[in-house]
Amino acid sequence: MGIIFGIFALVLLVLALSGLRVANQFERGVVFRLGKLRGVRGPGLYWLIPFLEWQRMVDLRTITASVQQQETITRDNVPVKITAVVWYSTVDPVRAVIDVLDVDGAVIQVALTTLRNLMGRHSLDEVLKEQEELAAAMRVAIDKATEPWGVKVTRVEMRNVEIPESMQRAMAQEAEALREKRARIIKAEAELEAAEKLRAAAGLIMENPAGLELRRMQMITEVGAEQNTTTIIMMPSEFVSMARGISQLAERMG
């Protein structure tokens, strides 16, 4: 009789130990009893009734999912290929288990659909220049769709945007034309500024004609400083007459 009692006690002990479970800090166990939800267990040590209760473990950490490259058409009928990355986490383990069969696959499919629909409502320029704004709008749309599943989407980024080679060449030509336009505008503005400075200088010289002669002598000095140069100086007739008079006066005095 004692042997039977000992065997029975050992069996009960084994069953009791088999029902022990441990959940990490980032895990929760959704427990069912005979197919009916009993609640969420964890973190730490807890016990399940053997053969009557079972659990579905849910990870609460943030998951990074890469949305496979999608080929879509923008509002201005340009085909583009876009790759996105979604960061999300489970905030309600019960809904993530009961309301959706595969929560990870469902999030990816929602992201794919949202990406295609969002790109179709924007032009190519908007897709290339406003990626942060589009990613934020995409995050809001995905988060709204996945909220009933107990999922919180924290971040979305558009990792890569590919456009056809013909469009790349056209954009490169447009950028080159814009650069040439800016260069011509800058050159024209510089010429206009130089002309205004010259006009101001001419006004000052007209007020004092002696300044013109000083400037001419300065130019002659600068040109004469160059080697192997021949300088022809055009002197005003007043200077020639004055030099002739000085020469004649010197001859009489001599």
For residues 92-112, average pLDDT: 93
Q: What is the share, in percent, of the chain residues with pLDDT greater than 70? A: 73
pLDDT averaged over every residue in the chain: 81
- 43-47, 67-71, 149-153, 225-229: the lowest-pLDDT one: 225-229
Task: State yes or no: pLDDT of 77 exceeds 80.
Answer: yes
Q: What is the mean pLDDT of residues 78-102?
A: 92
Question: How deeply is 70 buried, as exposed, middle or buried, from its count of CB atoms within 10 A (0-12, 13-18, 19+)?
Answer: middle
pLDDT bracket for residue 6 (50, 70, 90): confident
Sign of CA dihedral 173, 160, 115, 133: negative
For residues 77 and 59, give the distance between their C-alpha atoms in angstroms, rounded to a whole number: 42
Rounded mean pLDDT, 118-138:
88
Is the pLDDT reported for residue 212 higher than 80?
no
Angle formed at CA 178 by CA 177 and CA 179, multiple of 5 degrees:
90
**Distances from the Cα of 196 to the Cα of 130, 203, 244, angstroms:** 42, 11, 40
**Looking at 11-15, 42-46, 141-145, which range is the least confident one?**
11-15
pTM, two decimal places: 0.65
Contact indicator for 49, 62 with CB cutoff of 8 Å: no
pLDDT score recorded for residue 209: 61
Q: How large is the greatest C-alpha to C-alpha distance in the chain, in angstroms?
A: 165
